[in-house]
Amino acid sequence: MTATARLVSMLRSSSSLSVLTGAGMSAESGIPTFRDAGGLWEDEDPVSLASVDGFLANPARVQRWYAERLRGVMDAQPHSGHVALAELESELDVTVVTQNVDGLHSRAGSTNVLEMHGNITRHFCVECQDNTGPGLSTLTSTVDTAGSAPGLVQCTLCGGLIRPAVVWFGEMLPHGVFSRAVEAVAESDVFLSIGTSSSVYPASSLIEVAQSNGAYTVEINVAPSVAASRFDDSITGRAGQVLPKLVSELRSTVSAPETT
Ligand code: BV8
Ligand code: ZN
Query: Looking at residue 207, which CATH number applies to its domain?
Result: 3.40.50.1220
What pLDDT, on a 0 to 100 scale, did the predictor assign at position 221?
98
Q: How far is the CA of 125 from the centre of ligand 2 (A)?
A: 5
Whether the predicted pLDDT of 34 surpasses 90: no
> How far apart, in whole angstroms, are the C-alpha atoms of residue 20 and residue 224?
15
Q: How many helices (H) and strands (E) does the chain have?
A: 9, 8
Under DSSP, is residue 173 helix (H, G, I), strand (E, B) or coil?
A: coil
Which domain does 210 fall in, by range?
3-251
Give the largest Cα separation in the chain, rounded.
80
CA of 191 to the centre of ligand 1 (A): 18
* 6 three-class SS: helix
Please report whether residue 233 resides in a domain: yes
In a domain, 149, yes or no: yes
**C-alpha distance from residue 255 to each of 32, 33, 247 (Å):** 37, 37, 12
Catalytic residue among 82, 105, 117, 123: 117
**Residue 77, domain member (yes or no):** yes
**Whether pLDDT at 149 is above 60:** no
Position 139 pLDDT exceeds 70: yes
Residue 108 lies in a domain: yes
3-state SS, one letter per residue, for 59-88: HHHHHHHHHHHHHHHHHCCCCHHHHHHHHH
Asked if residue 257 is part of any domain, the answer here is no
Asked if 3 and 234 count as a contact pair (C-beta separation under 8 A), the reply is yes
End-to-end CA distance of the chain, in Å?
22
216: Cβ contacts below 8 Å, ≥ 6 apart: 7, 10, 14, 189, 190, 191, 232, 233
Ligand nearest to the CA of 128: 2
Query: CB-based contacts of 119: which residues, under 8 Å, 6+ apart?
Result: 101, 102, 103, 165, 166
* Total number of domains constituting the chain: 1
pLDDT for 220 equals 98
pLDDT at 145: 36
Q: Write down how long the chain is.
A: 260
Rg of the chain on CA atoms, in Å: 20
Q: Which residue puts its alpha carbon closest to atom 21 of ligand 1? A: 200
Ranges 85-99, 137-151, 205-219, 229-243: which has the least confidence: 137-151
| Contact predicate 185/213, CB 8 Å | yes
Residue 142 has pLDDT above 70, yes or no: no
High-pLDDT (> 70) share of the chain, % = 93
- pLDDT of 140 reads 60
Q: Is residue 260 assigned to a domain?
A: no
What pTM value is reported for the model?
Answer: 0.93
Confidence at residue 259, expressed as pLDDT on a 0 to 100 scale: 55
Q: Could you tell me if residue 119 is inside a domain?
A: yes
Q: 136 CA distance to ligand 2 centroid (A)?
A: 14
- Alpha carbon separation from 161 to 1, 210, 234 (Å, rounded): 55, 39, 44
**pLDDT tens-digit readout, 178-229:** 999 999 999 999 999 999 999 999 999 999 999 999 999 999 999 999 999 9
Question: For residue range 39-82, what is the model confidence (pLDDT) as tens digits?
Answer: 777 777 777 899 999 999 999 999 999 999 999 999 999 999 99
**Atom of ligand 1 minimally distant from the CA of 98:** 51
45 DSSP 8-state letter: -
117 catalytic residue (yes or no): yes
Nearest to 40 by CA among 54, 52, 24: 24
Ligand closest to 126 (CA) is 2
Percent of the chain with pLDDT over 90: 84
pLDDT of residue 150: 53
How does the average pLDDT of the chain come out, rounded? 92
pLDDT of residue 80: 98
* CB proximity list for 133: less than 8 A, separation 6 or greater: 125, 155, 156, 157, 162
